[in-house]
Structure 1
Amino acid sequence: MSTMRIAVAGTCGLALIISREIQEQTSHQLLILSRTPQPGLISQGYQCQTVDYNDPTSIQHSLMGVDTVISTVTGTPQLRLIEAAVATGVRRFAPAEFEGRPSLRMVGDPLDRGRAAALALLQHYRRHIQSTAFICGVLYERFSVHGLAAHRIGVNSGIANEGDYILDARNMTAQAPVYDANNNFSTICMTSAYDVGRFVVRALDMVHWPSELTMCGERTTVNSLIHTVKQCRGRDFTHVQWHNPDLLKYELTLAQLAGDVPRQKRLFALIATAEGRYDFESPGYLNAQFPDIQPESFGSWFTRNWQGVP
């Protein structure tokens, strides 16, 4: 594939991982779009453009000559970005997904953050712009020291802090959606943000993008995930609540009656896990397409991340 101009929208941790991979491993021209000036990134040799997502002209100006947009912004800014991409003739657009299959997201999902609207808009413009949802399941970084927020990923999601999802590795407690609706062990696919970046960048050279592109670092049951963390920490869990979807929905009702919005978001994520939203056939499509990429295992990643933490 010939050299392309690639725009990465956003400066969160995942956006910078993808940007670094483009800059260091390809000959493509990279442009980082940011709401604020980025002198630090510019000093590292990155080309950055400050954009005003409330000004269509500003976005269109930034996208002139761009072949592909990879978005990590959500809500109205992403909708404006899609409209500008169509107006300027951008060929391909990857929306801010990087989770489970969008088709499994419930209507009115409080964790949506405008992503369903972005997919609907891309579907509306499907004759004008090609798009794909990069699906990686659960990011390993959800289980890192200080959580996703430490990597500046999903900061406004409500479930980005340490211990917000499934387990608290520091205090060794867990609220685990171990069973699905049929009382089978629930299964999730997980991938490190670094490996997501590698797969996304390799996909840039694909001639055609299907509507979804899956990747997976490791597919495991929630029960095995708990066991892996126990082994890596060398400590037993002091308290584990084992859940199925019905019990989680009952707890969600109680949280709604109490008006506890943070707890509601945590429970929605657990229900989504038990219902299989973060599970798909493994290995992922991109794993099969690029077998030379060997993702890091969760156990190896977790041990390295928590080394030295009491």
Structure 2
Amino acid sequence: MSNMRIAVAGTCGLALIIAREIHEETSHQLLILSRSHQPGLISQGYQCQVVDYNDTNSIQHSLMGVDTVISTVTGNAQLRLIEAAVQCRVRRFVPAEFEGQPGLRIQGDPLDRGKAAALALLQHYRAYIHSTVFVCGILYERFSVNGMRSQRIGTNTGYGNEGDYILDARNMTAEAPVYDAVGNLAYLCMTSAYDVGKYVVRALDMAQWPAELSMCGERTSVNQLIDTVRQCRGRMFNNVDWQNPEGLRYQLTLAQVEGDVPRQKRIFTLIATAEGRYDFANPAYLNTQFPDIRPISFRDWFTRNWASVP
């Protein structure tokens, strides 16, 4: 496909990974949309545009001549971005998803953060703008030293700190949603944010986009995930709280009674895992389309990330 003008909305860690991949590996014109001035990025040769998501004119001005928008902003800001993209005749839009399959989310999902509204708006405008959801499962970076917040990812999710999801690799404890509702092992798909960037950018040159484009670095059971961390750390877990959805919902009720909102969010992610919301068909679509991309395994990623931690 010929060179396009691509706008990446946001400057979180994932946004910059995608932007860097476009900047270094393609000849597409890249524009980074940011709420604030970015002298550091500009000094590295990136074109940046300050945008006020409360000002329709500001958004529309930033999107003039843009072919594709890749969004990492959520809530009302993303809704206004979609509206402006339609008005500016942007051809394609990627919403801020980058997780499990949207169709598996429950109605009134407490982890939604405005995602359902964005997808509904894109569906409303489907005759005017094409879109796809990049499905990557859980980012490896959730298990980073100091959490995925240290990678500037998921800073507003409520579960971005070290040890917030499934296991605490520093203290070797785990709250494991290891079984689904009927007692089968729970599985999840995971991908490194850097491999997500590779697949997203490669997909820019696809002539047609289906409603979802899946990718996967590794599919594993929760049980195997915990065992992999045990092997990589060379230490036994001090405590593993094996959970099924029923037990997790009881824990959720206790957190709700206590008014512990952060705890509620963490439990919701565990329930979603037990219900299979981060699991999908293997091999994933983009893995098949681009077999030359060889995603890093979770074991290799984790070993590198935790190499300096005793």
TM-score in same-fold range (> 0.5):
yes
1:118-167 Cα offsets, whole Å, 9 max, x none, are 00000000000000010000000000101110011110100000000000
SS of the residue aligned with 1:287? helix
Q: Which runs of 4+ in 1 moved over 3 A?
A: none
Q: TM-score, normalised by structure 2?
A: 1.00
Corresponding residue for residue 225 of structure 1: 225
Corresponding residue for residue 280 of structure 2: 280
Deviation at 1:110, TM superposition (A): 1.6
Matched letter for residue 53 of structure 2: Y
Deviation at 1:199, TM superposition (A): 0.2
SS of the residue aligned with 1:150? helix
Cα distance in 2, alignment partners of residues 12 and 227 from structure 1: 31
Cα distance in 2, alignment partners of residues 45 and 295 from structure 1: 28
Q: TM-score, normalised by structure 1?
A: 1.00
- Does residue 168 of structure 1 match 2:168? yes
Q: Which moved more, 1:195-204 or 1:246-255?
A: 246-255
SS of the residue aligned with 2:36? coil
Matched letter for residue 174 of structure 1: A
SS of the residue aligned with 1:8? strand
Corresponding residue for residue 34 of structure 2: 34
Corresponding residue for residue 82 of structure 1: 82
Corresponding residue for residue 99 of structure 1: 99
Corresponding residue for residue 304 of structure 1: 304
- Does residue 262 of structure 1 match 2:267? no
Cα distance in 2, alignment partners of residues 30 and 111 from structure 1: 30
Deviation at 1:113, TM superposition (A): 0.7
Corresponding residue for residue 56 of structure 2: 56
Matched letter for residue 253 of structure 1: T
Corresponding residue for residue 209 of structure 1: 209
SS of the residue aligned with 1:49? strand
Matched letter for residue 94 of structure 1: V
Matched letter for residue 130 of structure 2: Q
Aligned length: 310
- Does residue 111 of structure 1 match 2:111? yes
Corresponding residue for residue 73 of structure 2: 73
Cα distance in 2, alignment partners of residues 30 and 291 from structure 1: 25
Cα distance in 2, alignment partners of residues 56 and 199 from structure 1: 31
Give structure 2 stretches of 5+ with no counterpart. Answer: none
- Does residue 236 of structure 1 match 2:236? yes
Deviation at 1:308, TM superposition (A): 1.8
Corresponding residue for residue 200 of structure 1: 200
Corresponding residue for residue 291 of structure 1: 291
Q: Report % sequence identity.
A: 76
